[in-house]
Amino acid sequence: MPKFYAWPPARSAADVLERGTYALIIGSSIFLVFTGLWNIAYWLPWRFGFVQAHFYAAFVFVGAFLGHVAIKLPVMRQAFRDRGVLRPPARGPRQHARPEPFDEDSSAPLEPDAPTISRRGLIGVVGGASVLMGALWAGQSVGGWTRSTALFAPRGQDPEFPLSQGFQVNQTAEKAKITQDLVGDDWRLEVVGRERLRFSREELLAMPQHTEDIPIQCVEGWVTWQTWTGVRLRDLAIMAGVPDPDELEVKSVQPAGAFDDVVLRGSRVTDPQALLALKVNDEALSLDHGYPARIIVPASLGVHQTKWVGRLTWRPA
Ligand SMILES: Nc1nc2c(c(=O)[nH]1)N[C@H]1C(S)=C(S)[C@@H](COP(=O)(O)O)O[C@H]1N2
Ligand SMILES: [Mo]
């Protein structure tokens, strides 16, 4: 910690590099944690795309972490060579801890303070905190009574984040401004390719139905496995005259919102498990889960599993 703001800021090129990686590791961690918590609470005071920004920050974190390990590799190797792997201070109470010897090229302090924590203590604190964080999140994916232990995860605990048909809802129909005239009896699925077709829900239910166990994995940190039934996307592509599609544009009837228009590519849409789901666990989809029809594709993120689908546009390879 004190090295983070030590003066002068740069003692050598290696020092600059090392402190640069600290800045990136700490900066990206703070960004990920805080924007993540705000996003879960739907408090979104920023203008950037949350998902993309999180991917970029995660890449920055992993890159800076790997860079940091690479920079420190010689120091680690030297330390293990000088002191062995499990000799003090790796083992035993902190009173036995000895400071790193100072030399010009190391980042060890000139006048070290008394040790505050042993390596075992540090690993215990970090490990314990990680286990605690895991325990506080796991309930939202495990479900049942454990849901109430997920203190940072409001879904299923707060009336604003209800469950429907027994599992999490990301965006309720009400919040997405889905009205009865958008998804009532007049709803038709438009399927566009070489042909332009329209189907009612009854017509879709009369097509060959397939049932698959597929998870919804939300970037907000929860996952739920459900059993979905509906029409294979591949079958719809064939009907639209695009048997060998490259890409599928899915448009929701949702009036506005970040996920009302999604493009899926390659095996996401040609995989036999990829469905336009009409039912979940043998019941018609609830309005909150995307009635009359939603996308359910394997090995994907929740953000790609569009609800309240209005139009599918197939583009050939
Ligand atoms: N039209 C539409 N589809 C959507 C969304 C949305 O906001 N609008 N949210 C997506 C996200 S981020 C997730 S995680 C899943 C959640 O599905 P569920 O609400 O049925 O659990 O729906 C996806 N489909
Ligand atoms: Mo999501």
Confidence tier at 228 by pLDDT (50, 70, 90): very high
Q: What is the CATH number of domain 168-316?
A: 3.90.420.10
Q: Ligand 1: residues within 6 Å at CB?
A: 168-171, 176, 216, 218, 252, 254, 257, 259-260, 289-290, 302-303, 305-308
Contacts of 41 (CB under 8 A, 6+ apart): 154
**Cα of 209 from ligand 1 centre, angstroms:** 22
Q: Which of 40, 42, 164, 170 maximizes ligand 1 atoms within 8 Å of its Cβ, making it the mutation to test the pocket?
A: 170
Instruction: Identify which of 304, 290, 223, 220 has the alpha carbon closest to the alpha carbon of residue 258.
Output: 304
Q: Which of 39-48, 176-185, 222-231 has the weakest average pLDDT?
A: 39-48
Contacts of 147 (CB under 8 A, 6+ apart): 139, 140, 153, 156, 157
Residue nearest to atom 20 of ligand 1 (CA): 289
| pLDDT tens digits along 241-279 | 999 999 999 999 999 776 778 999 988 899 999 999 999
What's the CA gap between 259 and 200, in Å, rounded? Answer: 23
Over the Cα atoms of the chain, what is R_g? 26
Confidence tier at 3 by pLDDT (50, 70, 90): low
Is the model's pLDDT at 77 over the cut of 70?
yes
157 by DSSP, 3-state: which?
Answer: coil
Residue nearest to atom 16 of ligand 1 (CA): 170
Q: Which of 141, 163, 259, 285 maximizes ligand 1 atoms within 8 Å of its Cβ, making it the mutation to test the pocket?
A: 259
Boundaries of every domain in the chain? 2-116, 140-164, 168-316
| pLDDT tens digits along 171-221 | 899 999 999 999 999 999 999 999 999 999 999 999 999 999 999 998 777
Which residues have CB atoms below 5 A from the ion given as ligand 2?
170, 218, 302
**What local confidence, expressed as pLDDT, does residue 84 receive?**
73
**What local confidence, expressed as pLDDT, does residue 66 receive?**
97
